Amino acid sequence: MNGNDRVVIISGVVVLLLMLTTAMVFRGDVAAGIQQQDDSVDLSWMSDLPVESGTDTQSQKLNEGSEAQFPIPGEGRAIKEIRATLTWVDEPDIRRARLYENQPDSFTLAVASGDGNISGTISGANSADGKGSLLVQVTLTDEEIDQFMDSGDWSVIVTLDTAQDYEPRLGPGVIVLTDNGNDFSLTIEYDYYDLSPEGEE
């Protein structure tokens, strides 16, 4: 075997190895593509339905440590987004021979799906002028919308964590005036797909 034959044989082996490697990689890519296609979620139904909106407003008084729940109907719907806004005004200061300042109240605002898998929570106290506000926004991905559609009611939960008392502005704070609760206003806005037969027409 001369030198030229040896070069030809080595070149042939290299080409063969390259062909085999390319075939294996291509086959793996095809298999992965097929697997990914099988695992994909059909979200085409979303393009056939318009996004609708709803609003609910509530006003209530809570005592310290208590909570109130407000449902968002989920049956026959696919929730896309929920925005809950809580506002309150703490009671003004009181003068009883001397001035008693009302200390800030603290609320917690939460939004939760019926099964508790998706939620959002925020807590906070009012400012010195007595005004307080909290906002929770829960936005679902298309995959989550499809997964949790028609899965029952969602809930907006308002909790008055602490209602601070009135404390004297000057002098010793031995005597305080009790603040047991607070009023609040709640606005719930939500976007959804109507899955009922009427909504699909």
Q: Which amino acid is at 134?
A: L
- So what's the pLDDT on residue 33? 44
C-alpha distances out from residue 88 to 53, 145, 164, Å: 25, 32, 14
Which token pair is 170?
């000057």
- So what's the pLDDT on residue 117? 83
Each residue of 51-82: pLDDT tens digit? 999 999 999 999 999 999 999 999 899 999 99
Q: What's the whole-model pTM score?
A: 0.71
Looking at 15-29, 62-76, 106-120, which range is the least confident one? Answer: 15-29
Percent of the chain with pLDDT over 90: 46
Instruction: Tell me the range of 32-46, 54-68, 178-192 where mean pLDDT is highest.
Output: 54-68
Q: Which 3 state secondary structure label does DSSP give 141?
A: coil
